[in-house]
């Protein structure tokens, strides 16, 4: 039993590290705005379909990690991530029962909220506009949801 838990924790950590690495792996400049938010999707998957939902503190720490890796304001991604995961936790039981296409829409909506919070904090900090491309990744991330859902289930098992 303990061995099973350790094995699951190891796989969970592997998932976390891979998702983080996928957030910073070099991409051509033209492709970068479409880079799926792998870490956010992994946390949302843990909330909606994982063996144990991601907690708020884990979401906050993951956001802080992104802040450090992306070189932005410390706390910006952390704030957006914690709010997004909190909303997901609030509606977790309803979303769990949804079909995959509906879950995809929910994930897209949550990632738009995430990006909206980033946009608000950027504006409050007086950072200049980022063009319209930053609204692209919630769509690409949501499109990946069905496949990532399947992949995560294979890595961590079905629940």
Partner 1 sequence: MASRQDHDYRPLLVSGPSLAARLFMLVIVSGILMIADHRAGYLDALRSTLMAGLYPLQRSVDAPFSAARWLSEGLATHSMLRRENGRLAEENRELRLRQMRLDALERENARLREASQTTARVIDRYLVAELVRVEMDRLRHRVLVNRGSTDGVYVGQPALDAQGVFGQVTRVGPVSAEVIMISDPAHALPVAINRTGMRTIAYGRGTLERIELPFLPGNADIEPGDLVVTSGLGGVFPPGYPVGEVEELLKEPGEQGLRVTVRPLARLSSDPEVLLAWYDNQLVEPVAPMSPNDGAEVP
Site string for partner 1, 16-55 (x = CB under 8 A): -x--xx--xxx--x--xx-x---------------xxx--
Residue 50 sits at the vertex; the CA angle it makes with 49 and 54, to the nearest 5 degrees, is 115
**140 makes contact with partner 1 (CB under 8 A):** no
Candidate list 10, 13, 14, 68; residue touching partner 1; CB under 8 A: 68
Alpha helical stretches, state H, 49-136: 56-70, 76-90, 92-96, 100-124
Binding residues for partner 1 (CB under 8 A) = 17, 20-21, 24-26, 29, 32-33, 35, 51-53, 56-57, 60, 63-65, 68-76, 78-79, 82-83, 86, 89-90, 93, 118, 121-122, 125, 127-131, 134, 159
């Amino acid at each position: 039993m303990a061995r099973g838990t350790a094995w699951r924790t190891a796989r969970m950590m592997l998932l976390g590290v891979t998702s983080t690495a996928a957030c910073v792996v070099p991409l051509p400049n033209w492709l970068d705005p479409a880079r799926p938010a792998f870490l956010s999707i992994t946390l949302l998957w843990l909330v909606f379909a994982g063996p144990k939902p991601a907690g708020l503190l884990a979401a906050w720490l993951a956001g802080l990690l992104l802040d450090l890796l992306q070189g932005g304001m410390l706390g910006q991604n952390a704030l957006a991530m914690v709010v997004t995961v909190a909303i997901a936790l609030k509606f977790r039981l309803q979303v769990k029962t949804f079909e995959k296409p509906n879950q995809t829409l929910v994930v897209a909506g949550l990632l738009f909220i995430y990006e909206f919070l980033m946009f608000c904090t950027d504006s409050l900090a007086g950072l200049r506009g980022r063009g319209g491309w930053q609204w692209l990744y919630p769509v690409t991330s949501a499109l990946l949801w069905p496949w990532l859902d399947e992949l995560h289930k294979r890595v961590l098992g079905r629940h």
